[in-house]
Amino acid sequence: VVKFVRDPFARCYSGYLVVNQPFLLTKQDHWALPTRQRILKYLVGRSTNIEYAFSFAQYLEWLGVVEMGSVDPHLRPQFTPLERHLSVRVAKIEQIYENLNFLEDEFNLPRRAADVPEIFDSGHHHSTRADLSREEGLRLLRLGVPLQRSPKFPYVKFNAEMAVGSEYEEIIRSVFSDDFAAYGYDEP
């Protein structure tokens, strides 16, 4: 079994961005809409319209108290108890090119990774990054992302480098503790 995993810090922030996508206001059948409504109900104390923005810290607060089995798989930890019974090889998304080349060689697959670079692009990973210092990025995370923003909105690049030592590190490590342990994200 080969399992592709993502840095828990970056994955957690990406989940936050998904539940704050402006198109959710008009796309009633998207999986993130009920999650967004649950988060707002937790934060406000009752059901409310979905037009309100919330910060990354508020999202993490909700993640820290919600029962993970009731959370959409896009947002919850990647590790599953089934993995304890399988031999799982981990392939980190952060080294996707190298991992795909290795798998192509090992299993004698066609060389697609080198020939088709567009497979490394994903609309799911918010790629427009702001040119901000770490301190500026952390301050912006406290504000949250606006619900009305341009398609070229410059997102904070939230990853381990930004998270470690921040106010967000402890809660993310707590919620995603199995991911950190199972996938070696604390190893150098």
Tens of each residue's pLDDT in the chain, 188 residues: 999 999 999 999 999 999 998 887 788 889 998 899 899 999 998 876 667 889 999 999 999 999 999 999 999 999 999 999 999 999 999 988 888 888 888 888 887 766 666 666 655 555 556 788 999 999 999 998 998 888 888 889 999 999 999 999 999 999 999 999 999 998 65
How, if at all, do strands 89-92 and 2-5 pair? parallel
Please check whether residue 6 is in contact with residue 93, taking contact to mean a CB–CB distance below 8 angstroms: yes
Question: Is 37 buried (19+), middle (13-18) or exposed (0-12) by CB count in 10 A?
Answer: middle
Q: What's this model's pTM, rounded to 2 decimal places?
A: 0.87
